[in-house]
């Protein structure tokens, strides 16, 4: 088994993956394993350190989760975070009790003793607490190295044995210097070097894919988005022509989208299979105005088309998907690696009867890391920086019935808006920007003539993961240019409005 510098035992905290992410940022490779991992399997990874994650349970509860006790006898550094701290305390003879008040939120960490784990970080730094239990009596051999107003045992250590435990969560964003503290643990306490990077990740994934796939074939749905493009590129590097990358053109793409995607894959020597299914999709959408019905029809038609294409190729045993960590509904979690995934919208969400084994090389990383990986694989910068685009495409950006004429109108408006945003540098500053055809006609005046034409809404939002979003504060002169250009250049549109709602309560898309 491969050498893994830091092994993270997962006790079910929602933040466990962020620990691994912070270590990656520090250039240290880590693997997350279920808390119940056998000691022999942990040892095989030859770790230099072990981190015990947080978790929702109580150490004194009857069915609480405990690691193999041998982890404390391996003679390598251990860091316990929150629940992990309580496990350490309990094991070494301290005591843990329910706190009078659940402590949740920011706290000020005061150093009580100098320690390498706090090297180059500030005394009085803000840390993030989230716990219902607390340590009540110090474990034997330990001393207090940090306190907070409500936690006399905010950070404890047995420096001789190199065992550290925090009540707070250094991995979360709100812990001001938490990343540095985790890095210090890896670097000064465990002696890890910062040698790991996205290039190493690419190499590891390529090797894993080769080992798993052997001489079989892998089907991969390509949408033109960042995630599926990165997955397809990684697969192509790993298995060459054993990859069957399929791009379904449902006729609901933006202007030039199909050509751009085809050109990008061609430039890399990847034989992309484009299936032009626009006729089929558009026919099925005639007269359909209900948004959920539209999505359903598009999803089902996608599967039909995709399946038909897959059947043309023999020997496909795997399906590659661009599932990201944020798409994984249940984390690696105490039940062990979970198979439940959010149906990946960009390939429509595939049904159970498609019995391929899944390959999900991006499952443990975050969107910005996928972008870094894409750059590492040599994908063009403008492809890497692309805004998300929904699987059902422009169909959910046209209110009411979808037809070729309206699609054309929307494409023209969209391309102008994106052009202005790119020229002013706002494309890269925002999460998503698009136009919506409102199916609302209003009166206007052009020259001496009265018009009665369509309204387009411009939607531009700032977000970090799309779960919440705020409308972007785009300078008025830029909005003015967008509006003027759309109205002047697109026949059939005489009014442009800007959406000033945030999510929640609105959503990013209109349908
Ligand atoms: P909402 O509209 O729910 O969107 O605020 C959140 C994010 O998800 C994208 N989105 C989709 N992506 N298939 C997709 O691939 C879909 O059906 C879909 N619906 C919404 C949306 O563009 C935004 O980034």
- Using the predicted structure, report yes or no on whether residue 345 has a pLDDT greater than 70: no
Mutate-to-test residue for ligand 1 from 322, 465, 509, 510, highest number of ligand atoms within 8 A of CB:
509
pLDDT digits (tens, 9 = 90+) for 94-126: 999 888 777 788 999 999 999 999 999 999 999
Mutate-to-test residue for ligand 1 from 342, 399, 466, 507, highest number of ligand atoms within 8 A of CB:
466
Ligand 1 centroid distance, CA of 301 (Å): 19
- Using the predicted structure, report yes or no on whether residue 409 has a pLDDT greater than 70: yes
The model's confidence at residue 478, banded by pLDDT at 50, 70 and 90, is very high
Ligand 1 centroid distance, CA of 111 (Å): 45
307's torsion region: left (phi>0), alpha (psi -120 to 50) or beta? alpha
Over residues 435-464, mean pLDDT: 95
Mean pLDDT lowest among 18-22, 333-337, 401-405, 466-470: 333-337
Residues 6+ apart with CB under 8 A from 55: 10, 11, 12, 13, 35, 65, 82, 83, 84, 334
Ligand 1 centroid distance, CA of 433 (Å): 12
- % of the chain surpassing 90 pLDDT: 82
Report the alpha-carbon distance of residue 155 to residue 129 in Å, rounded. Answer: 12
Instruction: Point out the ligand 1 atom lying closest to the alpha carbon of residue 225.
Output: 15
Quote the mean pLDDT of the chain: 92
Binding pocket residue ranges, ligand 1, CB within 6 Å = 295, 345-346, 388, 390-392, 432, 466, 503, 507-509
Could you list the active site residues? 82, 169, 171
Q: Whose CA is nearest to atom 9 of ligand 1?
A: 390
- Using the predicted structure, report yes or no on whether residue 187 has a pLDDT greater than 70: yes
User: What is the fold, at CATH topology level, of the domain defined by 6-189?
Assistant: Rossmann fold (3.40.50)
Mutate-to-test residue for ligand 1 from 228, 388, 470, highest number of ligand atoms within 8 A of CB:
388
Mutate-to-test residue for ligand 1 from 392, 508, 511, highest number of ligand atoms within 8 A of CB:
508
- Using the predicted structure, report yes or no on whether residue 347 has a pLDDT greater than 50: no
Does 198-384 match 6-189 at the fold level?
Answer: yes
Residues 6+ apart with CB under 8 A from 46: 3, 4
- Using the predicted structure, report yes or no on whether residue 399 has a pLDDT greater than 50: yes
Instruction: Point out the ligand 1 atom lying closest to the alpha carbon of residue 510.
Output: 2
Helix, strand or coil, per DSSP, at residue 511: coil
Q: Whose CA is nearest to atom 11 of ligand 1?
A: 390
Over residues 58-87, mean pLDDT: 94
The model's confidence at residue 368, banded by pLDDT at 50, 70 and 90, is confident
The model's confidence at residue 349, banded by pLDDT at 50, 70 and 90, is low
Is 346 within 8 Å of 322 (Cβ atoms)? Answer: yes
Q: Whose CA is nearest to atom 6 of ligand 1?
A: 466
Q: Whose CA is nearest to atom 7 of ligand 1?
A: 466
Residue with more model confidence, 365 or 477: 477
The second-level CATH assignment, the architecture, of 403-498 is 2-Layer Sandwich (3.30)
pLDDT at 332: 38
Length of the chain: 511
Domain ranges for the chain: 6-189, 198-384, 403-498
pLDDT at 98: 87
- Using the predicted structure, report yes or no on whether residue 343 has a pLDDT greater than 50: no
Q: Whose CA is nearest to atom 14 of ligand 1?
A: 390
pLDDT at 337: 32
User: What is the fold, at CATH topology level, of the domain defined by 198-384?
Assistant: Rossmann fold (3.40.50)
Ligand 1 centroid distance, CA of 467 (Å): 9
Ligand 1 centroid distance, CA of 393 (Å): 10
Ligand 1 centroid distance, CA of 509 (Å): 6
Over residues 181-189, mean pLDDT: 98
Over residues 127-133, mean pLDDT: 88
Helix, strand or coil, per DSSP, at residue 173: coil
Report the alpha-carbon distance of residue 385 to residue 388 in Å, rounded. Answer: 9
Q: Tokens standing for 475?
A: 């300078």
- Using the predicted structure, report yes or no on whether residue 341 has a pLDDT greater than 60: no
- Using the predicted structure, report yes or no on whether residue 460 has a pLDDT greater than 80: yes
- Using the predicted structure, report yes or no on whether residue 286 has a pLDDT greater than 70: yes
pLDDT at 93: 95
Strand 432-446 and strand 30-34: the pairing is unpaired
Residue with more model confidence, 345 or 183: 183
Q: Whose CA is nearest to atom 18 of ligand 1?
A: 390
- Using the predicted structure, report yes or no on whether residue 402 has a pLDDT greater than 50: yes
- Using the predicted structure, report yes or no on whether residue 256 has a pLDDT greater than 50: yes
Ligand 1 centroid distance, CA of 277 (Å): 22
Edge-to-edge strand ranges of the sheet holding 273-276: 273-276, 243-249, 217-222, 316-320, 357-359
pTM above 0.85? Answer: no
Mean pLDDT lowest among 75-89, 220-234, 317-331: 317-331
């Amino acid at each position: 088994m491969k050498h893994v510098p830091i092994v993270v035992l997962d006790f079910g905290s929602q933040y466990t993956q962020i620990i691994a992410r912070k270590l990656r940022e520090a250039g240290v490779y880590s693997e997350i394993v279920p808390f119940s991992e056998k000691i022999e399997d942990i040892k095989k990874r030859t770790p230099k350190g072990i981190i015990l994650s947080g978790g929702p349970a109580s150490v004194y509860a009857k069915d609480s989760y405990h690691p193999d006790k041998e982890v404390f006898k391996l003679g390598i550094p251990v860091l316990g975070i929150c629940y992990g701290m309580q496990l350490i305390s309990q094991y070494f003879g301290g005591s843990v009790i329910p706190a009078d008040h659940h402590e949740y939120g920011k706290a000020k960490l005061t150093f009580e003793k100098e320690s390498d784990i706090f090297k180059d970080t500030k005394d009085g730094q803000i840390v993030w607490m989230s716990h219902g239990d607390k340590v009540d009596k110090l474990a034997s051999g330990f001393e207090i190295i940090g306190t907070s107003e409500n936690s006399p045992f905010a950070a404890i250590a047995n420096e001789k044995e190199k065992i550290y435990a925090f009540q707070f969560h250094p991995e979360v964003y709100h812990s001001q210097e938490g990343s540095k503290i985790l890095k210090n643990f890896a670097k000064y306490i465990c002696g890890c070097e910062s040698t790991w990077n996205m290039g190493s990740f690419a190499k590891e994934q390529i090797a894993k894919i080769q080992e798993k796939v052997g001489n079989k074939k892998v089907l991969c749905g390509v949408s033109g988005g960042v995630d599926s493009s990165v997955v397809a590129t990684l697969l192509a590097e790993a298995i060459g022509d054993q990859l069957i990358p399929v791009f379904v053109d449902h006729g609901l793409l933006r202007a030039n989208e199909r050509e751009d995607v085809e050109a990008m894959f061609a430039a890399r020597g990847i034989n992309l299979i484009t299936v032009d299914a626009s006729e089929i999709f558009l026919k099925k959408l005639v007269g359909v105005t209900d948004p959920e019905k539209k999505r359903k029809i598009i999803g089902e038609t996608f599967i039909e088309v995709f399946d038909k294409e897959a059947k043309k190729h023999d020997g496909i045993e795997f399906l590659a998907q661009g599932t990201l960590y944020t798409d994984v509904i249940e984390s690696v979690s105490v039940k062990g690696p979970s198979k439940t995934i959010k149906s990946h919208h960009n390939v429509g969400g595939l049904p159970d009867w498609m019995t391929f084994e899944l390959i999900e090389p991006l499952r443990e990383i975050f969107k910005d890391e996928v972008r870094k990986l894409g750059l590492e694989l040599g994908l063009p910068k403008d492809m890497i920086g692309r805004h998300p685009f929904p699987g059902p495409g422009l169909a959910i950006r046209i209110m009411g019935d979808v037809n070729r004429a309206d699609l054309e109108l929307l494409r023209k408006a969209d391309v102008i808006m994106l052009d202005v945003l790119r020229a002013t540098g706002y494309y890269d500053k925002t999460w998503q920007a698009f136009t919506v055809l409102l199916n609302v006609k209003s009166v206007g005046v052009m020259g001496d003539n009265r018009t009665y034409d369509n309204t387009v809404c411009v939607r531009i939002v700032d977000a970090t993961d799309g779960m919440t979003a705020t409308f972007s504060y785009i300078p008025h002169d830029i909005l003015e240019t967008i509006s003027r250009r759309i109205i002047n250049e697109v026949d059939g549109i005489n009014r442009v409005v800007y959406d000033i709602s945030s999510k929640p309560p609105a959503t990013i898309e209109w349908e």
